[in-house]
Amino acid sequence: MGHKYLLLAFCLWALTCLLLPASSNGVVRINLKKRPLDLQSITAAKMARKKSGESVKGMYNYLGSSDEVTVPLKNYLDAQYYGQIGVGTPPQNFTVIFDTGSSNLWVPSSKCFFSIACYFHSKYKSTKSTSYSKIGKSCEINYGSGSISGFFSQDSVEVGDLAVKNQIFIEATREGSLAFLLAKFDGILGLGFQEISVGDAVPVWYNMLRQNVVDDDVFSFWFNRDPNAKEGGEIVFGGVDPKHYKGKHTYVPVTKKGYWQFDMGDFLIGNHSTGICEGGCAAIVDSGTSLLVGPTPVITEINHAIGAEGFVNAECKQVVTQYGDLIWDLLVSGVTPNKVCSQIGLCLFNRARSVIRSVVERENMNGSLPRDDLLCTACEMTVIWIQTQLRQKGTKDKVLQYVNELCDNLPSPSAEAVIECEKISNMPNITFTIGEKPFTLTPEQYILRTGEGLSTICISGFMALDVPAPRGPLWILGDVFMGVYHTVFDFGDLQLGFAEAA
57 within 8 A of 17, measured Cβ to Cβ: yes
Q: Which of 78, 155, 286, 479 is catalytic?
A: 286
- Please state the φ and ψ torsions of residue 369, each to the nearest 5 degrees: -70, 140
What stretch of H or E contains 258?
A: none
SS3 215: coil
Closest CA to 348 of 373, 322, 366: 373
Q: Which of 99, 155, 186, 490 is catalytic?
A: 99
Cα separation of 252 and 442, whole Å? 23
DSSP 422-490: GGGGGSPPEEEEETTEEEEE-HHHHEEEES-GGG-EEEESEEE--PPTTT-SEEEE-HHHHTTEEEEEE
Is the preceding omega at residue 253 within 30 degrees of 0, hence cis? no
DSSP 392-403: TT--HHHHHHHH
SS3 360: helix
Is 99 an active-site residue?
yes
Cα separation of 290 and 287, whole Å? 7
Mention every residue, 6+ apart, whose C-beta is less than 8 A from residue 296.
Answer: 356, 358, 359, 381, 410, 411, 464, 465, 466
Q: Which residues are catalytic?
A: 99, 286
